[in-house]
Structure 1
Amino acid sequence: MQLVKVGLCAFGMSGKIFHAPFLKEHPGFFLSAVVERSREDSKNLYPDATIHRSVREMLQNADIEIVVVNTPVQTHFEYTKMALEAGKNVIVEKPFTVNATEAEELVRLAENKNLFLSVYQNRRFDRDYLQVQKIISEGKLGNIREVEIRFDRFRTEASGKEHKENPSQSGSGSVHDLGSHLVDQATQLFGYPEKLFADVFSMKGEAFANDYFEILLYYKDTLRVRLKSSVFTKEDHFAYKIFGDKGSFLQERTDNQENELAAGAIPINGKDWMQPLKESDGILNYSDENSESIRVLTSSQPGNYMNYYQQIYEHIVFGYALPSLGNEVIQNMKIIEASLESSKKGKVIELN
């Protein structure tokens, strides 16, 4: 099996939970290097990985084929550009960049260098989203007319993460952080909208970056998609509400990969390493071909973030399609930018 050497730009929460475990367990990857500016937390878990004190230093390692840019969003443009210029393929954490202009420049650079650039949109591999995708594809709901996708939390106190909560830093706030997931899922399911209207502000006050948003996406053919997030939501909502002219589907947010990984779970390559649900997590209500009403409690199947890295590996070895390529995610950045503009101006924004 071809072995692909990977360098990790940071070993914080993202590195420890979302990247390093999968790189270790996938037989086609080797975690060759990790950037830790002052600590050596990766040493016990990944003793074969060389610790570097800066991204620039790590990029001098000629053996590394892929660099994972999993640093704060404010550094994504700088480090991704450095990695591409050093001749490395890049996986960059979401949100892709602070703005669409940066994203477009990086995509052009990757194309000019004949390198790949993929954005780590891991929520495409959540069990709940995959179930929604499955239900819509089955056609039981008919023509979809209205959709609501939520990603809520109950975090009313400061987290101490300046790059996410300081309003003076570009790219901070929930629209970039959680909105990058919801926008991506909306565009994956329904394509690029014609226009949007958004309400964005900070429930915790002006000293904090936005922590609430509601984004209404306007599609032709009478479809409306609402994306919503709040940090003052102690009681869970249905994360997905899908309404069509033949039925409705309600889906809870039940993917628990992040929590299991944080607790030390080991992902298994090629297998569903999460346990099946013991109870239902969705409600499907539709009319069949005889106009009989059918109501079913549904259970989603386990998601698996390993499938992202499997697709990366298959792209390298077999030339298969690259997951969440940068050129595709540029569109998401334009929606995020337009949402902030819409809220600031209090007007509908047309999307080209």
Structure 2
Amino acid sequence: MTRRLRAGLLGYGYAGATFHAPLLAETEGVELIAVASSRPEQVLQAWPQARVLPDAEALLAEDDIDLVVIATPNDSHFPLALAALRAGKHVVVDKPFTLDAAQARLLMEEAERAGRLLSVFHNRRWDADFLAVRQLLDEGALGRVVHFESHFDRYRPQVRQRWRESSGPGAGLWFDLGPHLLDQALQLFGLPQALSLEMAALRDGAASDDWFHAMLRYPDKRVILHGSALVADVGPRFTLHGTLGSFSKYGLDPQEDALKAGARPGGEGWGVDMKPGRLVSGGEEAVFCGPAGDYLRYYAGVRDAILHSEANPVPAEEAWRVMALLELGKRSAMLQCWQPVPDNLREPAA
């Protein structure tokens, strides 16, 4: 009988209910067997086969759970991941990995001692629009890229009563969307030389930042990462300019909206982007569509890493670098000046 990866989910808020539970349940060879939540009725309505446990302590005590997925508020990621590793579990942590790079390093060391996989859910590596950008760069269609701009803008003028928009640790848009944009930039271009960030709380009653504008300096290019909660007329998601042409892409990857609507991931048409990008090169214009997005590839990678010793789809070390840049950005915003990226981030983590 083929071995299955048995998963337990900590938290059934937005991230747990929208992303992790359906992706775990629909990934071949993975079984969602338990959820720790204060909303048992909601969990059982969607996942009647799963055991609902009252808290993390109860879930970590279950002997038949191989993988613990942490989809709880940001300030709980570190202690819960540490407890899960010490309980002998493999661990996936929703982004951001932790509250700072020091916590991330401690978790990496604990995972090494425990001999367990530690991974971070940077799912937007499998967005259709990002995969299109990656394909264009791999093919050299734009020549040498000199300008890359990545926007994640929304129109949410009302401040909601939730931890993401509070004044607590790990709240705010930079820690919510910044990890996605930084991770994608690092995947494409590696670490920058320096980083500059501005943050602001612009909405009426905002308790944390709801606008950020980051610049990453590379020897031969500039990268802009921007997020805002007050954009009613949303511009391009991606804009690239290179020595051979330009590319622009409007609209977000469709997977999150499909998951929010209750669609199960996978199947025909899943992740297909219906809004192709615009490629301008050699005086000609063309539409360009990349491959379909597929978040299932993340948990398939986690499954294969644990059961078949294949590569971790998002190694903790890569997420640690994202955490270091998030911290560096906050320092830049506080001091209102560029911050050089430390050399130790370019070396393998000890």
TM-score range, shorter chain: over 0.9
- Cα distance in 1 for residues equivalent to 2:273 and 2:185: 25
> Are the equivalent residues in 1 in contact too, given 2:255–2:271 (CA < 8 A)?
no
1:165 and 2:165 matched = yes
Q: Which residue of 2 aligns with 1:18?
A: 19
RMSD of aligned C-alpha atoms? 1.5
Q: Which residue of 1 aligns with 2:186?
A: 187
Q: What do the CA deviations read for 1:198-220 (whole angstroms, capped 9, x no partner)?
A: 11111125751001000000112
Q: Percent identity?
A: 33
- Cα distance in 1 for residues equivalent to 2:290 and 2:281: 18
The change in CA–CA distance for 1:275 and 1:123 in structure 2 (over 3 A counts) is: closer
Q: Which residue of 1 aligns with 2:326?
A: 336
Runs of 4+ residues over 2 Å off in structure 1: 37-40, 275-278, 299-302
**Residue aligned with 1:41, SS:** helix
Give the alignment partner of residue 294 of structure 1, picking from 281, 284, 287: 284
1:322 and 2:322 matched = no
Question: Cα offset for 1:317?
Answer: 2.5
- Cα distance in 2 for residues equivalent to 1:185 and 1:206: 31
Q: Output the amino acid matched with 1:252.
A: Y
Give the alignment partner of residue 236 of structure 1, picking from 234, 237, 242: 234
Q: Which residue of 2 aligns with 1:54?
A: 55
Q: Which residue of 1 aligns with 2:276?
A: 281
Q: Which residue of 2 aligns with 1:78?
A: 79
**Residue aligned with 1:104, SS:** helix
Question: Cα offset for 1:254?
Answer: 3.2
More deviation in 84-93 or 203-212? 203-212
More deviation in 72-81 or 24-33? 24-33
Question: Cα offset for 1:126?
Answer: 0.8
**Residue aligned with 1:135, SS:** helix
- Cα distance in 1 for residues equivalent to 2:339 and 2:311: 32
Question: TM-score, normalization: structure 2?
Answer: 0.94
- Cα distance in 2 for residues equivalent to 1:196 and 1:18: 30
Q: Which runs of 5+ in 2 are unaligned?
A: 343-350
The change in CA–CA distance for 1:277 and 1:80 in structure 2 (over 3 A counts) is: closer
Question: Cα offset for 1:10?
Answer: 1.0
- Cα distance in 1 for residues equivalent to 2:42 and 2:295: 23
Matches within 5 A, 1:22-101: 22-37=23-38, 39-101=40-102
> Are the equivalent residues in 1 in contact too, given 2:117–2:306 (CA < 8 A)?
no
The change in CA–CA distance for 1:207 and 1:235 in structure 2 (over 3 A counts) is: closer
- Cα distance in 2 for residues equivalent to 1:218 and 1:62: 48
Q: What do the CA deviations read for 1:81-110 (whole angstroms, capped 9, x no partner)?
A: 010010100000001111111111111110
- Cα distance in 2 for residues equivalent to 1:35 and 1:282: 41
The change in CA–CA distance for 1:345 and 1:306 in structure 2 (over 3 A counts) is: same
More deviation in 146-155 or 255-264? 255-264
Q: Which residue of 1 aligns with 2:195?
A: 196
Question: TM-score, normalization: structure 1?
Answer: 0.93
The change in CA–CA distance for 1:148 and 1:267 in structure 2 (over 3 A counts) is: same
The change in CA–CA distance for 1:207 and 1:267 in structure 2 (over 3 A counts) is: closer
Question: Cα offset for 1:17?
Answer: 1.4
- Cα distance in 2 for residues equivalent to 1:113 and 1:275: 36
Provide the aligned length of Structure 1 versus Structure 2. 341
- Cα distance in 2 for residues equivalent to 1:275 and 1:213: 28
Q: Output the amino acid matched with 2:250.
A: E
- Cα distance in 1 for residues equivalent to 2:271 and 2:178: 28
Matches within 5 A, 1:93-172: 93-161=94-162, 163-167=163-167, 169-172=168-171
> Are the equivalent residues in 2 in contact too, given 1:272–1:304 (CA < 8 A)?
no
**Residue aligned with 2:215, SS:** strand
Matches within 5 A, 1:199-218: 199-204=198-203, 207-218=206-217
> Are the equivalent residues in 2 in contact too, given 1:40–1:51 (CA < 8 A)?
no
**Residue aligned with 2:153, SS:** coil
Q: Which residue of 1 aligns with 2:265?
A: 267
Q: Output the amino acid matched with 2:313.
A: P
> Are the equivalent residues in 2 in contact too, given 1:272–1:302 (CA < 8 A)?
no
Q: Output the amino acid matched with 2:299.
A: Y
Q: Which residue of 1 aligns with 2:348?
A: none
Q: Output the amino acid matched with 1:308.
A: Y
Q: What do the CA deviations read for 1:232-255 (whole angstroms, capped 9, x no partner)?
A: 111121111111111111112331
